[in-house]
């Protein structure tokens, strides 16, 4: 499933680069790609330091830093997308570096995955017996996880 996405994205990037190059010229297109890379690098540096400071703050206050960790993952992925030449990847990368859109995407991902994780059909725990053989237990009253408030 991922391979077709890479092929389609690459073809779209080439098409858009060629179209923009035909409209404004090849030199200006390359210059525009370089400018977006510099803007992205500046935002990557700024948001990376901000996220590290948030992580240190949550750790020093003995709080869970799951959301901050997810922000770090999104920032790293956004940085990789900004290093990839092209306008589509640059726009997605820039959206990942903006704090309001980054938190929106993380919340949407967590909402979708929370429904899958806490579905009663898939709940269960592993219990070790006296002979250390794992045994599946499907108790519907046991839920293990993390909770955080903004």
Q: Please tell me the predicted confidence (pLDDT) of residue 23.
A: 95
Evaluate whether residue 107 is within a structural domain. Answer: no
Number of domains observed in the structure of the chain = 1
Domain hosting 96: range is 2-100
Evaluate whether residue 62 is within a structural domain. Answer: yes
pLDDT-derived band at 145 (thresholds 50, 70, 90) equals confident
Full 3-state SS string of the chain: CHHHHHHHHHHHHHHHHHHHHHHHCHHHHHHHHHHHHHHHHHHHHHHHHHHHHHHHHHHHCCCCCHHHHHHHHHHHHHHHHHHCCCHHHHHHHHHHHCHHHHHHHHHHHHHHHHHHHCCHHHCCEEEECCCCCEEEECCCCCCCCCCCCC
Question: Is 133's pLDDT higher than 70?
Answer: no
Average pLDDT over every residue of 65-76? 84
Question: Is 35's pLDDT higher than 70?
Answer: yes
Among 46-55, 60-69, 82-91, 129-138, the least confident range? 129-138
Evaluate whether residue 149 is within a structural domain. Answer: no
Evaluate whether residue 31 is within a structural domain. Answer: yes
pLDDT-derived band at 44 (thresholds 50, 70, 90) equals confident
| 4-27: pLDDT as tens digits | 888 998 899 999 999 999 999 999
Evaluate whether residue 118 is within a structural domain. Answer: no
Question: Is 129's pLDDT higher than 60?
Answer: no
Are 7 and 64 contacting, i.e. CB atoms less than 8 angstroms apart? Answer: no
Evaluate whether residue 131 is within a structural domain. Answer: no
Evaluate whether residue 135 is within a structural domain. Answer: no
Q: Please tell me the predicted confidence (pLDDT) of residue 29.
A: 92
Average pLDDT over every residue of 110-124? 64
Evaluate whether residue 132 is within a structural domain. Answer: no
CA distance readout (Å), 62 to 22, 44, 56, 120, 130: 55, 27, 10, 31, 36
Neighbours of 17 (CB within 10 A): 19
Q: Please tell me the predicted confidence (pLDDT) of residue 138.
A: 53
| 75-104: pLDDT as tens digits | 888 888 888 888 999 899 889 888 888 888
């Amino acid at each position: 499933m991922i391979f077709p996405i890479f092929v389609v994205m690459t073809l779209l990037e080439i098409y858009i680069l060629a179209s923009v190059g035909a409209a404004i010229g090849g030199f200006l297109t390359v210059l525009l790609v370089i400018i977006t890379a510099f803007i992205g690098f500046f935002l990557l540096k700024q948001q990376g330091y901000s996220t590290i400071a948030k992580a240190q703050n949550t750790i020093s206050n003995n709080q869970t830093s799951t959301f901050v960790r997810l922000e770090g993952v999104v920032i790293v992925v956004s940085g990789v997308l900004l290093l990839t030449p092209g306008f589509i990847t640059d726009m997605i990368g820039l959206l990942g570096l903006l704090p309001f859109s980054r938190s929106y995407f993380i919340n949407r991902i967590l909402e979708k995955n929370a429904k899958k994780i806490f579905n009663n059909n898939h709940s269960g725990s592993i219990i070790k017996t006296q002979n250390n053989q794992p045994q599946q237990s499907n108790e519907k009253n046991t839920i293990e996880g993390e909770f955080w408030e903004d």
